[in-house]
Amino acid sequence: MVEKDFKEVVKGYLRLTRIDHGIMVIIAIFAGAFLTIHYNLFNYSNIHVFLIGSLIGLILEMGTFALNDYFNIEEDRINAPHRPLVSGIIKPTHALIFSIITIILGLMLVLLLNLSLVIVVYVTILLDIMYNALLKKRGFIGNIIVAYSTAIPFVYGALLFENNPAALPIEIYLFTLVAFLATLGREVIKGIVDFEGDKKAGIKTIAITYGKKIAAYISTFTISIAIILSFLALAFIENKLLYLVFILPTDYVFISSLRKLLKNYDKKDEVEKVRKMTLAGMGLGIISFISSAI
């Protein structure tokens, strides 16, 4: 019984910290690093830096997601009753303590790296804390912060090996912008899925303030701009052919998801499927970014 309870708690913490998102963060960090120094990344000294940087990124991701769930308990009672804090697998105070410890640890470890990274990480964590504690209820402002936090690992990975942000390859910023816009669209879609819980919690999402249809249109607009920019990137990347091999199916997934969204924006289950489709698209997108430098 004790062993079973322990396994449940471990699984609970993995869900609390969104370990699947943590893996995507590490892949995004790798993409930023690989686009910056290419195959030199696999030198012993560089791979050492990458592993340390990835560990810091993962620790901070775990901490901020745990903090998110701590502040989101009331909304999750309606929107996600399976979450570990709502279901009782993990106590809210334990999640808060875990979040504080991991965030402080990550902020201390990043001091081992360069100044640009320290600034980026500290600004990002400050925004994440402000989002969880204050700005989530502002709706679109919160969406922007989440989109920024999701996209910044590309720049973070590049800055592991180039201290000067102005010296980073232009495709780093272009891919970061693509990821930002795609995530912004996904967050607006999330507002449609979480409509009932967000309304009860007083969160002023676009879906609640202007309606689900307008939210679907805004999400379609931001993701469509991301798709256009993903093709404009061809002007700056090295391996255009391999990039096209991956970016074409990526954009197809996004276009298909948008068509589904516009037809079914008032059906929660269908919109949730759209969110899952766009998450798969983002995963393919990261692979596309990496392939451009192979």
Torsions phi, psi for 116 (to 5 deg): -60, -40
Is 31 a residue whose pLDDT tops 90? yes
SS3 of 167, please?
helix
Mean pLDDT across 138-154: 93
pLDDT in tens, 228-270: 999 999 999 989 999 999 999 999 999 999 999 999 999 999 9
Which residues does 14 contact at the CB level (< 8 Å), separation at least 6? Answer: none
Mark 197-229 as b/e (b = at least 16 C-beta within 10 Å). bbeebebbbbbbeeebeebbbbbbebbbbbbeb
Mean pLDDT across 213-241: 95
For the question of whether the overall pTM of this predicted structure is more than 0.85, the answer is: yes
Which residues does 135 contact at the CB level (< 8 Å), separation at least 6? Answer: 141, 142, 145
Top-confidence residue, 262 or 136: 262
Phi-psi region of 88 (alpha: psi -120 to 50; beta: other; left: phi over 0): left
Is 1 a residue whose pLDDT tops 60? no
Is 3 a residue whose pLDDT tops 80? no
**Cα dihedral angle (288, 289, 292, 293), rounded to 10 degrees?**
-140
Is 226 a residue whose pLDDT tops 90? yes
Is 5 a residue whose pLDDT tops 60? yes
pLDDT at 202: 84
pLDDT in tens, 68-98: 999 988 888 887 888 899 888 999 999 999 9
pLDDT at 225: 97
Confidence of residue 9 (pLDDT cuts 50, 70, 90): confident
Write down the number of H helices and E strands in the chain.
Answer: 14, 0
* CA–CA gap between residue 102 and residue 119 (Å, rounded): 18
Is 119 a residue whose pLDDT tops 90? yes
Mean pLDDT across 23-31: 95
SS3 of 118, please?
helix
Q: What average pLDDT is seen over the chain?
A: 92
pLDDT at 133: 87
pLDDT at 187: 94
Q: What domains are defined for the chain?
A: 1-164 (1.10.357.140), 169-294 (1.20.120.1780)
